[in-house]
Amino acid sequence: MNLLENGILLIDKPAGWTSFDVVAKIRGKRKAAFREAGITPTKQQLKVGHAGTLDPFATGLLIILLGKATRQSDEFLKKDKVYEATIRLSATSSTGDPEGEITVESTLQPSESDIREVFGKFTGQITQTPPAYSAIKVNGQRAYKLARKGQAVELPSRVVTIHSLELLSYDYPNVTLRTNVSSGTYIRSLAQDIGSALGTGAYCQTLRRTEIDGMTIQSASAIL
């Protein structure tokens, strides 16, 4: 898409970038494009947002909204999403991902059939507790900011839907999966819950969003 237009961009977010980093990068590029065209942009024209945060360690599809399209943010947030993830068994993380404090929990090595059986228990409607290190607001503050200060964060459980949970490969301690989930599902929490059900502990080692409501990563562009 031309950066002078209103609409959406599909971006393949790299690891290490926050969703806000991507928004700031695109806003700068959009501003420069207007200047190169000899146009002084309005505040509305410089509006850039995203529809669905990706954690810094995660990669994949990020919907960027330009100009008037920022009004569609809530619409995209409610869409189903597809992720591919690698769950590392035998250890837990304070953040549910590789950026937290890792604690070895178990040397138990479940079989592939054990994993498939547990996957069945997490398919359909499930109750899930979002991770403390999340962007959910608690008394007006982001939960992750409170957690980083060492404050106890208690988030209410929610009902989410796991439409499908497919085992792609298993090479202990790594379990690679693909899952289609409803809005509001946290894959980090899913990884931790699977690890708990297996009796091994687990955290989400890698995470890649590949699809949002039919829009795929194959249609996305690199940020740089």
CATH number, residue 173: 3.30.2350.10
Is the same domain home to 91 and 155?
Answer: yes
Give the number of other Cβ atoms within 10 Å of residue 174's Cβ: 13
Is the same domain home to 204 and 103?
Answer: yes
Residue 99 has pLDDT above 80, yes or no: yes
**What are the b/e assignments for 97-126, b being 16+ CB within 10 Å?**
beebeeeebbeeebeeebbeebbeeeeeeb
- Residue 218 located in a structural domain: no
Query: Could you report the per-residue pLDDT of 191-224, keeping only the tens digit for each?
Result: 999 999 999 999 999 999 999 999 999 999 998 6
Predicted confidence at residue 191, as pLDDT, reads 97
Residue appearing with tokens 């769950």: 87
Domain holding 108, by residue range, is: 81-212
Does the active-site annotation cover 213? no
Residues written for the chain: 224
Pairing of strands 7-13, 221-222: parallel
* SS3 (DSSP) at 105: coil
Who wins on pLDDT, 144 or 221? 221
Predicted confidence at residue 224, as pLDDT, reads 62
Residue 151 has pLDDT above 70, yes or no: no
Mean pLDDT rounded to a whole number for the chain: 91
Query: Could you report the per-residue pLDDT of 7-50, keeping only the tens digit for each?
Result: 999 999 999 999 999 999 999 999 999 999 999 999 988 999 99
pTM of the model: 0.91
Is the same domain home to 21 and 72?
Answer: yes
Residue 153 has pLDDT above 70, yes or no: no
* Domain tally, the chain: 2
Query: Could you report the per-residue pLDDT of 113-142, keeping only the tens digit for each?
Result: 999 999 999 999 999 988 766 666 666 666
Is the same domain home to 122 and 162?
Answer: yes
| H/E stretch holding 171 | strand 158-171
Is the same domain home to 62 and 105?
Answer: no
Predicted confidence at residue 157, as pLDDT, reads 85
Is the same domain home to 23 and 112?
Answer: no
Predicted confidence at residue 156, as pLDDT, reads 76
Spot the catalytic one: 55, 80, 171, 213: 55
Residue 61 has pLDDT above 90, yes or no: yes
- Residue 112 located in a structural domain: yes
Is the same domain home to 56 and 119?
Answer: no
- Radius of gyration over alpha carbons of the chain, in Å? 19
Predicted confidence at residue 77, as pLDDT, reads 85
Residue 148 has pLDDT above 80, yes or no: no
